[in-house]
Structure 1
């Protein structure tokens, strides 16, 4: 029985492409959002409220995490290309189901790498070897998903 509403956005992985470089899929994507910075102004004689004036929009850094895999070499190659100079790039993040069906997609503007963290390699503590890539950006656009 269908309700006429789209399926919920249950995502399993996030595909990441920066310019023409496919960085692969990540299991976790944190920080996709925005905050409108407000400036408060009091008006003389107006005691009922304080004006809330929007001044700018702030975008938090995005953190992408996954277990180490073959695609880690793509991330390393992309980061190595920054040694000659960091220039802002465009990117896309695609939320996908387990069947690789696209649920949602965002385009990122002015992307630059902030930090890459590799796994802690310790034989005494057998855990999944994770990598985390943190990127900054200057805004995003939601892309229309077909279907």
Structure 2
């Protein structure tokens, strides 16, 4: 008898990336794409003058987070991205906590990125094309002070 897949565990398959949710404050926004969930450690190089080996050693240094870019469709009377960006006044901006959740088929979060102290640095409106046949898409790029990853 052929295996119908019902005996397989969820650990066999990697998670699909197309079902996700983005919340900032208590508002959920429908984004088409989220990118930039990167973290890296900048290496420090050091060499003592009396070291008999003529090479540097490397140590982990400061942690660096990439900016997060989110893209969404343009909707009538939905200016949430531009409104948040318009709040920037001489180094004063309302920073927000953003939660990005990868969801399973039951809408439950399986992996959650909690972004800390996010603020917009760039908002890009849609391009316009008379002969185009695409959906109007706008994007926001946000800087932040780190994130933590939680697995459900």
Residue in 1 that maps onto 2:75: 69
Matched, 1:78 2:94: no
Larger radius of gyration: 2
Residue in 2 that maps onto 1:131: 138
Change over 3 Å in CA distance of 1:113–1:13 after alignment to 2? farther
CA–CA separation in structure 1 for the residues paired with 2:99 and 2:55: 41
C-alpha deviation, 1:70, in angstroms: 5.7
Which structure has greater helix proportion?
A: 1
C-alpha deviation, 1:47, in angstroms: 2.0
Matched, 1:42 2:52: no
TM-score by length of 1: 0.79
Matched, 1:30 2:35: yes
C-alpha deviation, 1:55, in angstroms: 2.2
Change over 3 Å in CA distance of 1:104–1:72 after alignment to 2? farther
Contact residue 40 and residue 53 of structure 1 kept, 8 A = yes
Contact residue 84 and residue 120 of structure 2 kept, 8 A = no
Alignment of 1:1-147 (within 5 A): 1-3=7-9, 5=11, 7-22=13-28, 24-43=29-48, 44-47=50-53, 50-69=56-75, 72-80=78-86, 82-83=87-88, 85-97=92-104, 100-145=107-152
> RMSD across aligned C-alpha pairs, in angstroms?
2.6
CA–CA separation in structure 1 for the residues paired with 2:77 and 2:63: 33
CA–CA separation in structure 2 for the residues paired with 1:91 and 1:54: 27
Contact residue 11 and residue 103 of structure 1 kept, 8 A = no
C-alpha deviation, 1:19, in angstroms: 2.1
User: Structure 1, unaligned stretches of length 5 or more?
Assistant: none
CA displacement, residues 31-81 of structure 1 (integer Å, 9 cap, x when unaligned): 10111011111243342863212221111100111222369433344334x
User: Structure 2, unaligned stretches of length 5 or more?
Assistant: 1-6
